[in-house]
Structure 1
Amino acid sequence: MNAYLPELRRQGLLARPAWDLFDRMFEDFGLGLAKDKEWVPSLDVAENEGEYVVTAEIPGLAKEDIDISLSEGLLTIKGEKKQEKKEETDTYHVVERSYGSFSRSLRVPNGVDLGGVKAETADGVLKIVLPKTEEEKTRKIEIT
């Protein structure tokens, strides 16, 4: 159904003012659906038997531009994507790349080994590995 929305709007079959009101509601709550909002990296969170893995897309950022902290069960990733210096002779017709500072926070489950947390970056992807403590690792429970 979502694929048909632009075509329905184009044909005038879907009232645009109602959608504008809907979009503004999300903007008021700061949920970031508007296209002119600041840049925020996308995250994936995965879990396997021994660890949690957080992966973030951070193209164009050096590791020096990223700050990662884990405090009271809250993993916070902060950084800044700096805009390249524009030459005075260049005339830009379209600028689609986003710049600015960002901050993303995730609640981390209990049972993470804080001493074993590792982070690495390669090819514009940040990978944070949060190992589970021995107590949190999955154990098979036999039914008697």
Structure 2
Amino acid sequence: MVSLLPRREGKELDRLRREMDRLFDRLAEWKPSFFRGEEGQWLPAIDLSETPKEIIVKAELPGMDPKDIDVSLSGNTLKIQGERKQETEEEGENFHKIERSYGAFLRTIQLPAEVDPDKVKATYKKGVLTLKMPKTKAETMKKIEIGPA
């Protein structure tokens, strides 16, 4: 079969394809920065969901002791913070790859509705922190009549 591209251009396209393959291989090892805070920090992934009666937040915090996690609520703002401590290295252990992140973190989450802070339930199981926050009763909306000036 006869190539439609001159021999020289075909070689350059092959070289370009090989370079692109190398870039994609390196991209597979890259971690998106939105999963980390500042350089060296990590941010746990969260799920925020809502039912008619409550707001539920789940945060992935694998390898953490619940004593190292602080949760606070102020108005509609939920803060989850803590520190995942790095394990001590064994003597004679040579690492070939380190992908797990360690250090302090802070997640600030705006809740979509008012919740009752006295009725929040927090559980930690298999590396997942679950917060169930009952909503406060919705305020009734009052129509305001506009009178003449």
Equivalent position to 1:126, from 129, 135, 138? 129
Contact 2:35 2:44 (8 Å CA) reproduced: no
Does residue 1:108 correspond to 2:108, yes or no?
A: no
Superposed CA deviations along residues 92-137 of structure 1, whole A, max 9, x for unmatched, are 111111111100001124431111011110001010111012336x
2:76 aligns to what?
73
2:62 aligns to what?
59
* Unpaired runs of at least 5, structure 1: 1-9, 17-26, 137-144
1:140 aligns to what?
none
Superposed CA deviations along residues 48-96 of structure 1, whole A, max 9, x for unmatched, are 0100000011100110010000113210000111100002221111111
Does residue 1:38 correspond to 2:41, yes or no?
A: yes
Specify the SS of the correspondent of 1:115: helix
Contact 2:42 2:102 (8 Å CA) reproduced: yes
State the superposition RMSD in angstroms. 2.6
Runs of at least 4 residues off by over 6 Å: none
The whole-number CA distance in structure 1 between the counterparts of 2:78 and 2:106 is 10
The whole-number CA distance in structure 2 between the counterparts of 1:72 and 1:86 is 42
Specify the SS of the correspondent of 1:64: helix
The whole-number CA distance in structure 2 between the counterparts of 1:135 and 1:46 is 18
| Pair member with larger Rg | 2
Equivalent position to 2:91, from 62, 84, 88? 88
Total equivalences in the alignment: 112
* Unpaired runs of at least 5, structure 2: 1-15, 24-32, 140-149
The whole-number CA distance in structure 2 between the counterparts of 1:58 and 1:98 is 11
Identical columns (%) = 41
2:12 aligns to what?
none
The whole-number CA distance in structure 2 between the counterparts of 1:114 and 1:82 is 29
